[in-house]
Amino acid sequence: MELAWSDSTDIAITLAENYPEQDPHLVRFTDLRRMILGLAEFTDDPNHCGERVLEAVMLAWIDEY
């Protein structure tokens, strides 16, 4: 499955699976962006990311956590 910035819930699930020991409350947006770009399933343009997108992913990840 390919992931894009618009797939905030799917990205959050993938992050939770890849980083099960990571508390998302402690992740900075700069680190979150790096983690997302490092996902094998992520194929979207790295430049199409803004703070609102990262916030949506973070909130979804917190829900998964």
Domain 8-64, what fold?
Arc Repressor Mutant, subunit A (1.10.10)
Any idea where the domains of the chain sit in the sequence?
8-64
Q: Is 7 helix (H, G, I), strand (E, B) or coil?
A: coil
b/e per residue 5-24 (b: at least 16 CB within 10 A): bebbebbbbbbbeeeeeeeb
Phi, psi of 25 (to 5 degrees): -65, -20
- State the pTM of this model: 0.94
Tell me the per-residue pLDDT of 1-54, one tens digit each, with 9 for 90 and over. Answer: 899 999 999 999 999 999 999 999 999 999 999 999 999 999 999 999 999 999
Numbers of helices and strands, H then E, in the chain: 3, 0
